[in-house]
Amino acid sequence: MAKPILLAVDDDVSVLETVVQDLRRKYGKDYRILRAASGQAALDTCQQLKERGDVIALFLSDQRMPGMTGVDFLEKAIPLYPDAKRVLLTAYTDTEAAIRAINSARIHYYLTKPWDPPEDKLYPVLDDLIAAWNDGHKPAYDGLQLISARWGAGDHETRNFLSRNLIPFKWLDPEKNPECLDLLCEKQLDDAKLPVVLFPDGSSLVQPSMTELAAKVGLRTQARQEHYDVVVAGAGPAGLAAAVYGASEGLKTLIIDSLAPGGQAGSSSKIENYLGFSQGISGERLAKEAYIQAIRLGAEFMTQRVCSIRSENGYHIVRLADGREVSCRVCLIATGVEYCKLDIPGAKEFSGAGLFYGAALTEAASCAQQEIYIVGGANSAGQAAMYFSRSAAQVRMLVRGPSLERSMSRYLIEQIEKTSNIAVEHHTQIRELKGNGHLAEIVLETPNGFETRPATSVFAFIGAAPKTGWLPDCVARDPKGFVLAGPDLKTKAGNLWKYERDPYLLETTVPGIFVAGDVRFGSVKRVASSVGEGSIAIQFVHQYLATL
C-alpha cells in the first residue's frame, strides 16, 4: 500500500515551503507530503489521487488565497475525501472566518500563523488529528485473497496451508461476502470451481494443489542441488533442530515438508512448558524463529511431499511427489505424527466440513461466538480449548475417561477450571456425525445414555499416528508404525541390526538413515525432547560420515 498523504495548500511559495519542510521533518517517514499552490490546483490533485486509489489523511490549507479561499477548498474536498482531517491556516484577523468554517467546511482545527516553533504549536495538534484519522481508517486491502466456501472441498486445506506458512490473506466466503462473486465475474472465473486464490499482480489459481500454491507464493518447491550431506524429512521441532545444527556445522542440509515448518507443534496456540519462555510461546512463533535461524545458518527448505526413499551404493535417494529425486549421504526421518482419525459414521463425510483434526489456529476465527466441541483430554486438546475460549461462546471438551489428571499437565487443568466458558464432560464419547453437506449434529454416548446435539464444529485431538507409510520395508517399525532405532533394534523377536558395528543411538535398520522426534518408537512426545533428538542426531551423522 502507498503511504497516506498529507496535502499542504498555500499560494505563498515561501510559506508553502516552510509548511512542507515542517511536515516532512516530523511525518515524512510514514506519510507522503504533497503541495499545491492554489485551491483549484489542490482540487485537481485530489481528483487525480482519488482516481489512482491514493488516500489523503490530512489537508493543511491557507485561508487567504486568490480565486478560492481555504474554506472553499476544504468544503469542496469533502466529497472526495470525507474522512480526511481538515486544518485551516489563518492570520490573526481571519479568526472569525475560521470559527465559522468549523460548521460550513467542517474543519477540525485552525492554526494561526506563524506556528513557530512547530514542536509546540504545530505538531501536537497534527499528532492528535493524524492519530484520530488512523484510528478510524481502514486501508483498502491489496494482498492475496482466497475465495472459498467454508464447507467446500479444499477450503480448510488451503486456509490451513496459508495460515501455517504465515502468508497474509483475506478470506472471502461467498455466503458471507457475496461481493466476491463480482470479483470472479470480472476475471471470468467460474464461481462453481472453488477455492480460487487471487494475487495482487492480477493472476489467479483455481483449485490449486498445495505445491502449486507454494510455488506461487514464493516457497521453494524444487531443490537447488541434486546431492546433499543430509536430507531431513519433516520440519517439526526435531527437523528444525537438525536443520540448525546441521547447517551450523557445515553440512549441506535440505529440509523437506509438505505443509509448513513447525509440524504438529506449530499448530499449538501456546506451549507453556518449553524451557526459557516463562510466559509460554506459540508453536507458530517457535517454528518461525527456528526456521529463520536455520535459513540464516545456511539450511535449505523445500515444500514438497516425500514419497519414498531407497539406498544405492552408500547413498540414499529421496523421491518427491513431483517425480524429482535428491540424493544424500544421510537421511533423517523427522516426519512426526498426526492426530488419529475418528472411526465413526460421518467422520469421512464431514472431514474438513465441520470435523477437524487439530487446526485450532486456522478455524478459530470462523467459530467466533459459536459453541464448539473438542474431543480429547491431553495437552493438545487443553491448549486448543484455552485458545478457543477467547472467541467461542462455549467450549465443550468430550473426555472418555473419568478425569484429565492422567493425560494433561496440571497447569492446563487449572487454567481450564478457571475458564467459565469451558465445560469438561467426562465419560463421554462421540458416536456419530450428521448433516447435509456440512456437520449439523453429533450423537454422544454419555453416562445417561445417547443424546443428539446441534454442532457445526468438532475438533479431534485423540492419539497420535506416525506418518511412516512412505518408508520401505527395510526400515523397521513397530506394529503401530513408529520407527525403531538404536537399542530398540534388539527386540524379543531377534536382533534387527545386521551389521558388524553397533547402531548409533538414533540409527534405523538401514545404516545412514536416522530418526528423531515423535515418529521414533519410545519417544517422549514433548517439544523439548524432539528438539534434543534433532540436535544430537547431527552428532551421530558426523560419526557415521567419518566411517565412510
The pLDDT, as a whole number, for residue 1 is 59
The pLDDT, as a whole number, for residue 363 is 86
The pLDDT, as a whole number, for residue 93 is 66
Q: Which 3 state secondary structure label does DSSP give 178?
A: coil
Q: For residue range 520-547, what is the model confidence (pLDDT) as tens digits?
A: 999 998 899 999 999 999 999 999 999 9
Q: Report whether 361 contacts 159 (CB < 8 A).
A: no
Q: Which 3 state secondary structure label does DSSP give 58?
A: strand
Comparing 66-75, 220-229, 291-300, 529-538, the range with the smallest average pLDDT is 66-75
244: its cell numbers: 540448525
Q: Helices then strands (H, E): number in the chain?
A: 15, 28
The Cβ of residue 316 has, within 10 Å, a number of other Cβ atoms equal to 20
> 355 vs 50, 271, 363, 452, CA distance in Å?
46, 24, 11, 16
Nearest to 306 by CA among 264, 263, 244, 259: 259
User: How far is the C-alpha of 60 from the C-alpha of 70, rounded, in Å?
Assistant: 9
At 459, is the pLDDT very low, low, confident or very high (cuts 50, 70, 90)? very high
Nearest to 111 by CA among 3, 14, 22: 22
Q: Which 3 state secondary structure label does DSSP give 335?
A: coil
Q: What percent of the chain has pLDDT over 70?
A: 98
The pLDDT, as a whole number, for residue 548 is 86
Which three-class secondary structure string do you get for 491-507?
Answer: ECCEECCCCCCCCCCCE
Q: For residue range 424-449, what is the model confidence (pLDDT) as tens digits?
A: 999 999 999 999 989 999 999 999 99
Average pLDDT, the chain: 92
The pLDDT, as a whole number, for residue 115 is 80
The Cβ of residue 217 has, within 10 Å, a number of other Cβ atoms equal to 17
- pLDDT of 92 strictly over 90: no
Q: For residue range 270-302, what is the model confidence (pLDDT) as tens digits?
A: 888 889 988 888 888 999 999 999 999 999 999
**Who contacts 266 (Cβ-Cβ below 8 Å, separation ≥6)?**
164, 236, 260, 283, 284, 286, 287
Q: How far apart are the first and last CA of the chain?
A: 55
pTM of the model: 0.77
Which residues in 321-438 belong to E strands, given as ranges? 325-333, 337-339, 355-357, 371-375, 394-398, 422-425, 429-435
Q: For residue range 119-168, what is the model confidence (pLDDT) as tens digits?
A: 988 999 999 999 999 988 877 777 899 999 988 889 999 999 999 998 98
The pLDDT, as a whole number, for residue 32 is 95
Query: Judging by DSSP bridges, how do beta strands 458-460 and 464-466 pair with one another?
Result: unpaired
**Domains in the chain with CATH codes:** 5-136 (3.40.50.2300), 144-210 (3.40.30.10), 227-338+465-546 (3.50.50.60), 355-462 (3.50.50.60)
Which residues in 321-421 belong to E strands, given as ranges? 325-333, 337-339, 355-357, 371-375, 394-398
The pLDDT, as a whole number, for residue 348 is 94
- pLDDT of 454 strictly over 70: yes
Mean pLDDT across 408-430: 95
Q: What percent of the chain has pLDDT over 90?
A: 75
User: How far is the C-alpha of 297 from the C-alpha of 225, rounded, in Å?
Assistant: 17
400: its cell numbers: 472418555
> 106 vs 6, 112, 427, CA distance in Å?
18, 17, 65
Please, what is the Cα angle at 222 between 218 and 225, to 5 degrees?
A: 125
The pLDDT, as a whole number, for residue 287 is 94
388: its cell numbers: 478457543
Exposed, middle or buried by CB within 10 Å (0-12, 13-18, 19+), for 529? middle
The pLDDT, as a whole number, for residue 492 is 58
At 94, is the pLDDT very low, low, confident or very high (cuts 50, 70, 90)? low
The pLDDT, as a whole number, for residue 108 is 87
At position 163, the amino acid (one-letter code) is S
